[in-house]
Structures are given as structure tokens and as C-alpha cells.
Amino acid sequence: MKHLQTFESFLNEERVYGMFNDAQGRPSKLSQEILDICLKGLPKDLTDKIEEVEAAGYGKSSMVTPPSISNKGQSRGYLDYTTITLFFTTPMGRAKVTSMTVGLRKSTSGPGTGYLAIKINASGHIIPNGEHAIEFMSNDPAYAIGKLYDEKIKPLM
């Protein structure tokens, strides 16, 4: 667990705000929280290849919702998430993934406490089947993003 790093531990002099670039201005606390979840939950070989991170900015991004049991495993559609985009130093895997968008949507009702979503891109192009979401409980969102990556995203990388 010594490889886990937090937002505060990154001081890259080439970036304006730690790992964040200045494309969307100063990162919010929620953007920093999403980055912390990624750094704790995603595999070390993936997090080591992060070159820079783009903050959420003012708007929200539309991303897929997790499948629900009441709809017989069918997704309910898309919701607005607060997102960050992770840019990698080199294209990864057979799909040549160059960036990953990670979204967080917190909720106060229902069985879970929110949704995490991942969407991967190859040089700005959407990868088929490259967008998935999972519901998480408040005590361990890093575990949820790790599970989502291992089950859905890793086979594409």
C-alpha cells in the first residue's frame, strides 16, 4: 500500500496545480477527490503513466449510469457527472488508449451513495464498449473504481 499517493504528494513543477493542468482553471475539491480515488483504486502500472490531469471545469459531462436490477440488467441511460480526464504518457494496450475520463456522481438516496463512471478514448476517438459505471458505497469508492476497471475496462487495455 506504500505506492498509494494523494493529491498533496504530487508536486510536478511543469503543472500549474500539482498533476492538474490549467486548461479548466484551478481544480475544485471534488476534482481533487476524484483524482485521489483514481490514485488509490486504479492499478499502479496505470497511475504511473499519468502525464497530466484536466479538472472538471464549470460544466458537467454526460456519462452512462450503472445497470440496475429493477430493469433486468438494463442501463437507465445517462446522467451528469463531475469528471476529470487522465492523460497518459504513451498509448496503452491494443486499443491505444491515450486518455481516461473518470466521473463521480454523489447521491443521498437509494441503496448506494453514488456512481462512478469510466470512459476511455484513443486520440480523441471513443472506443466501442469503453464506457461503464458502477454504484459505490461511501466507505470505499477506491475499491469500486478498481473493481470497475478490472471487470470492464482492463480487457480493452
Query: Residues 105-128: pLDDT tens digits?
Result: 887 566 667 888 899 988 878 788
0.85 exceeded by the pTM?
no
Each residue of 22-49: pLDDT tens digit? Answer: 766 677 788 888 888 899 898 988 888 8
- Taking a C-beta distance cutoff of 8 angstroms, is the pair 122, 97 a contact? yes
Q: Which residues pair with 115 in a beta bridge?
A: 105, 135
**pLDDT band, very low/low/confident/very high, at 102 (cuts 50, 70, 90):** very high
Report which residue type is found at 133: A
Q: Where are the domains of the chain?
A: 7-156
